[in-house]
Amino acid sequence: SHCLTRNGMADEGFLHVAAAAIGTTEPALRVLVLLLSGVPLSAIYNIAIAHHKSVLQHVFFFLSGLSLSYFGFGLGCFHLVATIVASYLILLVAGFLNQRAIGAAAVSLFTMGYLIWGYIENATESYDVDWTTPHCVLVMRLTGFAIDYYDGVAEAAAPAKPSKGKPTPAIKTLPNLLEILGYCFCFCGVTVGPQYSFNTYNALASGTLVKSTSGRFTTALSRLLLGLLYIVVLAVLGGQVPFEYVYEEKFLADPLWYRIAYIFVAGKLNLMKYIGVWLVNDASCVFSGMGYSGETTDGKTVASWDGVSNVRPYVYETSITLKGVISAFNINTNQWIMHYVFKRLRFLNNKHLSMIGSMFYLAIWHGYYVGYFLTFALEFLTLMVENALVDRFSLPQSPALYYPTVVGAWLVRNMVLSYSMITFVGKDLQRSLAGQAAVYYFVPVLAAVVLAVLTNFVRKPKRDADKAKKTE
């Protein structure tokens, strides 16, 4: 619990003992307590706060989120306050000078620079849980906010229509500091996300977001219980298959098949913590109303609550493609990157360059370690392989071939994800290379070979061109 001690908090106490008893770290346990606290806070909000004026709601969101942040990260939470206030002043001056574009760029660079400084100051070999954890969420929140403020100029000239029950993100006039503090510290997303626009938050605080509460409690409860199930499974099995073993010398003494199988299982378990955390957090998003996304009509009108969901467990677990995983895992971050980075790079006139730029942003957002860049480089490579395969082949129609192909594809995409954890968890270059060398870099090597063979020796079928002509 070094990071909490650094932030001015004692490392002894009930949580310290409890964390040691269940085989985790005190910072990690604190994060879980923070997320679980969102459920009673949502109840307090609905019962005592939601029907009052928006200014009281902003105060509640700010103070409750600040209190949670102090509990979780000690005095480090004031780094968040300082970043928010400085960003507000930048946009205030930029708006006064009618230079919103410069303001958006300045906020983006300032918040990311502050985060990288925090990473350097708090760097350790293991995955860190300190004030930089909520600060990386804040970077995207304030960067998106600044860009939405810039987009507000065009929005004022040509208003866009709301989608999925949520208001458009563009901000025409700069909100006051209290509103921005409430937005950034809202307990629904202050610790691990998700990302949502200021206008969505403000609609909740002004009482215009939620049109129906049908199914809210059962949806929140089901996501809470499923998230806790993931966390319990990880707690029980994670200690038996620790990913750190991959970097130890004795790992090399195991047979190659065992090393590959070990990485497959350990990587799968390592990813479960993200799913569990997001599901638990989504419970408070749904219960508070932030997750409201309109109503669906299928025989009867029912409220939908996936507005800010960060994971779709069934799709994630059953998908046989990496694209399917991306659509169901870390959803809000992927959507944020698409809207605020990928589409903003359209001037490059090249989707591959825009994708590289987006993945570079994601890598530096996670930290300055080489391992993060290697992780997203592998993602780019394997997505290119997947696209090449999909362009040239389709699933067989015969059941005798269809089911083995689906199972094989599922195993391959899980292997790719688990393999990527070698560099993501390893972080530095030495550990990242050592972990991959233990299995002879087989995933990137095979991916490069397959891509080279497909692009040079296997032509795309003409069926797509023929279909396009018929459509025309």
Of 143, 170, 142, the C-alpha closest to 157 is: 170
Nearest-angstrom CA–CA distance, 433 and 440: 10
pLDDT (0 to 100) of residue 10: 43
Per-residue pLDDT 10s for the chain (472 aa) are 333 344 444 445 788 888 777 777 888 888 999 999 999 999 999 999 999 999 999 999 999 999 999 999 999 999 999 999 999 999 999 999 999 999 999 999 999 999 999 999 987 666 668 999 999 999 999 999 999 999 999 876 666 666 655 678 999 999 999 999 999 999 999 999 999 999 999 999 999 999 999 999 999 999 999 999 999 999 899 889 999 999 999 999 999 999 999 999 999 999 999 999 999 999 999 999 999 998 876 656 788 999 999 999 999 999 999 999 999 999 999 999 999 999 999 999 999 999 999 999 999 999 999 999 999 999 999 999 999 999 999 999 999 999 999 999 999 999 999 999 999 999 999 999 999 999 999 999 999 999 999 999 999 888 654 554 444 3
Sign, Cα dihedral of 119, 186, 293, 147: negative
pLDDT (0 to 100) of residue 4: 37
Tokens of 105: 């760029």
3-state secondary structure (DSSP) of residue 110: helix
Q: Give the CB-side neighbour count of residue 184, counting CA atoms within 13 A.
A: 33
3-state secondary structure (DSSP) of residue 362: helix
Q: Could you give the C-alpha distances from 50 to 57, 199, 227, in angstroms and in order? A: 7, 17, 26
pLDDT (0 to 100) of residue 463: 64
Residue type at 387 in one-letter notation: N
- 459: alpha, beta or left, given left = phi > 0 and alpha = psi -120 to 50? beta
Q: List the Cα angle 36/42/44 in 5-degree steps.
A: 115
Nearest-angstrom CA–CA distance, 335 and 401: 35
SS percent in the chain: helix, strand, coil, step 5? 70, 0, 25
Contact residues for 415 (Cβ-Cβ < 8 A; gap 6+):
260, 263, 264, 443
pLDDT (0 to 100) of residue 6: 40
Tokens of 30: 């604190």
Q: Are 295 and 446 in contact (CB under 8 A)?
A: no
Of 360, 425, 450, 441, the C-alpha closest to 125 is: 425
Instruction: Give the number of other Cβ atoms within 10 Å of residue 455's Cβ.
Output: 15
Total residues belonging to the chain? 472
Q: Give the CB-side neighbour count of residue 141, counting CA atoms within 13 A.
A: 30
Q: Are 398 and 463 in contact (CB under 8 A)?
A: no
Q: Could you give the C-alpha distances from 438 to 114, 253, 286, 374, 414, in angstroms and in order? A: 36, 10, 44, 16, 19
Q: Could you give the C-alpha distances from 148 to 12, 59, 75, 112, in angstroms and in order? A: 43, 23, 30, 17
Q: Are 220 and 307 in contact (CB under 8 A)?
A: no
pLDDT (0 to 100) of residue 152: 93
Nearest-angstrom CA–CA distance, 245 and 266: 9
Q: List the Cα angle 367/250/232 in 5-degree steps.
A: 60
3-state secondary structure (DSSP) of residue 391: helix
Of 371, 341, 49, 81, the C-alpha closest to 195 is: 341
pLDDT (0 to 100) of residue 108: 98
pLDDT (0 to 100) of residue 158: 65
Q: What is the DSSP string of 273-314?
A: HHHHHHHHHHHHHHHHTTT---EEESSSEEE---TT--B-HH
Q: Are 192 and 333 in contact (CB under 8 A)?
A: no
Active-site residues, by number, are 330, 366
